[in-house]
Amino acid sequence: MAEQTQPGTVLSATDLTPHVRQLVIKPKTTKIAFQPGQWLSLQLPVGPKPPLNRAYSMADPSSPYGELTLVFDLVPGGLGSTYLSQLKSGDAITLSGPYGRFTLPQSLDRELILIGRYTGLVPMRCLLKQIFFEKLHTPVLLIAVAPHEEEVLFHQEWLTMAVQEPSFRYLPIVAGQNETHAVEKTLAMLSPLLADQPKVAPMLCGTKAFVRPLRSYFMEQGYDRKEVKVETYD
Ligand SMILES: Cc1cc2nc3c(=O)[nH]c(=O)nc-3n(C[C@H](O)[C@H](O)[C@H](O)COP(=O)(O)OP(=O)(O)OC[C@H]3O[C@@H](n4cnc5c(N)ncnc54)[C@H](O)[C@@H]3O)c2cc1C
């Protein structure tokens, strides 16, 4: 079945870091109701056979006005992100959605561990806002992995959240560009935290090279595949 696309307008375009940009988009036809953790598909007028479909997770929960916040990194030579990075306020964009199942587990009876690398932190931001807005009282540990000190996403917001929300712990890691190294650094921090503890509810997001070894680690620790929620970007 063909997906239902609709036109939208870019309301704002803002640089968050030297290589990460935020777009706020307003769908023109129908308001999009979504769960935090879900994503939109953008149909972009580029590439050898346009439209080029690219997925972007929602960075903010639903707003009463229907605007949608997306955050993306500029991939060197990447067709989709290069096109998006030159959009400005007032430009048109075609979109569809929402899609995806990277949403909060139905029962929040365990500590939630959110681990994202770089823009893999975008859905985590949306999920955390939901958790604290709805006062879900779940203990949450966020491990936020960045490729570079200048590219730590949402750092100030999470520091503030950690001060305001006693159930929230925030561990940033600057791990460099290499994803294998990022996995090693993440595991070095994670393993002692999980040792001899009851099971947690892990949610992992980023590229496959980052997410898959971490999922394997949880499964080696006795987790069922279904107990580890993942979203991969490539
Ligand atoms: C469900 C889902 C949600 C997504 N949400 C986001 C989001 O919120 N923010 C976001 O920046 N991207 C997100 N992506 C990735 C996005 O759809 C594009 O793949 C990304 O912007 C690269 O597209 P491109 O055409 O510029 O690069 P392409 O030419 O398609 O090159 C992709 C290559 O760039 C590398 N790369 C570097 N950064 C990324 C990245 N962020 N995603 C994918 N590949 C990357 C990978 O090695 C990959 O092989 C999501 C993908 C999926 C499937």
Order of strands across the sheet with 168-174? 168-174, 140-146, 112-117, 201-206, 229-232
Q: Which residues contact 126 (CB under 8 A, 6 or more apart)?
A: 36, 37, 57, 58, 59, 60, 61
- Residue 138 CA to ligand 1 center (angstroms) comes to 30
Order of strands across the sheet with 20-27? 52-57, 39-44, 92-99, 6-17, 20-27, 68-73
Per-residue pLDDT reduced to its tens digit, 62-78 = 999 999 999 999 999 99
CATH of domain 112-232: 3.40.50.80
As annotated, the residues of the chain forming the CATH 2.40.30.10 domain(s) are 6-99
φ/ψ of residue 134, rounded to 5: -90, 5
What's residue 137's pLDDT?
85
Q: Which among 188, 172, 170 is positioned nearest to 180, based on CA atoms? A: 188
As annotated, the residues of the chain forming the CATH 3.40.50.80 domain(s) are 112-232
- Residue 73 CA to ligand 1 center (angstroms) comes to 8
Task: List the chain residues with pLDDT less than 50.
Answer: 1
Q: Which protein residue has the closest C-alpha to ligand 1 atom 13?
A: 56
Rounded CA separation 219/225 (Å): 7
- Residue 126 CA to ligand 1 center (angstroms) comes to 18
**Residue 56: strand pairing partners:** 40
Per-residue pLDDT reduced to its tens digit, 193-227 = 999 999 999 999 999 999 999 999 999 999 999 99
Residues with CB under 6 A from ligand 1: 39, 54-57, 71-73, 75, 78-81, 100, 119, 122, 207, 231, 233-234
Quick check: 85 and 96 in contact, CB under 8 A? no
CATH of domain 6-99: 2.40.30.10
What's residue 146's pLDDT?
98
Q: Which protein residue has the closest C-alpha to ligand 1 atom 35?
A: 75
What's residue 2's pLDDT?
59
Q: Which among 10, 115, 16, 26 is positioned nearest to 73, based on CA atoms? A: 16
| Rg of the Cα atoms in the chain | 18
